[in-house]
Amino acid sequence: MPADPLSPLARAEMFALRFRSNANHLAIAYGGPLYLVGSALISLVPGDIDLRLLLDRADCEAMWGERFDHSDLEWSAGKLARHREELKQSRRLTRRWRGGAGLGGVRRFDFQFQPGLFTDGGDRHPVMLDKPFLRLDTIPIDILLDSGRGDP
């Protein structure tokens, strides 16, 4: 009898281990935790690898301005800069991994910044209701969210 294929979650966890150094680099570079979301967590043949880097809204506004996420037909300079950075990281990761992510032969990464809502408790988990997610980086969340704030 052939061995059962790994579950989508087991594949995602193996990917997380192999991707850890990339995830830690991205988390430190931008100042927020990185999560695997989407079909890679629930399907043996996901459409792409969806990565979301959660940032505090104040950090997003500091980097790209107040209109960084408006759904206007007109693109602000900040919105354009944000999406260019997302495209740059998506292409960079897609080229680097070239289908070797171990998630059903997926070849495309979809990297996006997401303004995050975090719980107020000591654990400061992201608020992502009813959606599966897997944290990829190992940087303590307080270091990511509190670095550079307050008095030196």
Least confident stretch, 5-14, 40-49, 62-71, 139-148: 139-148
Separation between Cα atoms, residue 125 and residue 135, nearest integer Å? 10
Q: Which helix (H) or strand (E) holds 60?
A: helix 57-64
**pLDDT above 90: percentage of residues in the chain:** 36
DSSP-based three-state secondary structure for 100:
coil
Most confident of 19-28, 107-116, 135-144: 19-28
Among 37, 32, 60, which residue's Cα sits nearest to residue 141?
A: 32
Closest CA to 89 of 29, 20, 37: 29
Q: What is the pLDDT of residues 94-137, one digit of tens each?
A: 988 876 666 667 778 999 998 876 655 555 556 566 788 899 99
Half-sphere exposure of 58 (CA within 13 A, CB side): 5
Pairing, β 49-55 against β 34-37: antiparallel
Would you say residue 55 has pLDDT above 70? yes
With contact defined as beta carbons under 8 Å apart, do 94 and 109 qualify?
A: yes
Between 72 and 51, residue with greater pLDDT: 51
pLDDT higher for 21 or 46? 21
pLDDT higher at 84 or 60? 84
pLDDT of residue 123: 54
Give the span between the Cα atoms of 22 and 39, in whole angstroms.
Answer: 20
Residue among 41, 64, 30 at smallest CA distance from 133: 41
* Mean pLDDT to the nearest integer, 12-40: 92
Percentage of the chain beyond pLDDT 70 is: 80
Cβ burial of 48 (10 Å; 0-12, 13-18, 19+) is middle
Calpha distance 136→15 (Å, rounded): 9
Largest CA distance in the chain: 63
**Predicted local distance difference test score (pLDDT) of residue 1:** 46
Comparing 22 with 44, which gets the higher pLDDT?
22
